[in-house]
Amino acid sequence: MIYENEFVVCILDIAPFNDGHILILPRKHYLDVEEIDELTLSAIMNASAKMSILLKKTFNPDGITFCQNGGTFNDLQHYHMHAIPRFIDDGFSWSEPKEEFKTERSLKEIKLLLLKELVASD
């Protein structure tokens, strides 16, 4: 364990992309980010800032990547955020689609769909 408080624990990933790859996990069980209460969400973000500072001081990376996978893509079946120290030419990259990005909708159409749903859910 690298860090803990009443809301979160931060541990090293057992299959790290780079030295210092940390997982930030809420103590209480959640699967997806939208299930998490406000205090725990705040604690996760505060821990991500603390881990960023720690990783920068310890490993002097070129940057930090933070990410989380939800739903089917959450391989732990428990919400967790990755904090990954990044180095130029480390081989880690954003996963691109197998095929060229395609959409039949304009950004304006997508925006309207999202705003319509946002208003409906309030």
Reported pTM: 0.85
3-state DSSP assignment of residue 63: strand
Q: What percent of the chain lies above the pLDDT cut of 70?
A: 94
pLDDT reported for residue 55: 97
Q: Which of 6, 64, 5, 68 lies closest to 35, judged by CA?
A: 68
- Give the pLDDT confidence of 4-41 residue by residue, as tens digits: 999 999 999 999 999 999 999 999 999 999 999 999 99
Q: Which two tokens stand for residue 72?
A: 């089917």
How far, in Å, CA of 42 to CA of 44, rounded? Answer: 5
Q: What is each CA distance from 77 to 11, 29, 54, 80, in whole angstroms?
A: 16, 9, 27, 9
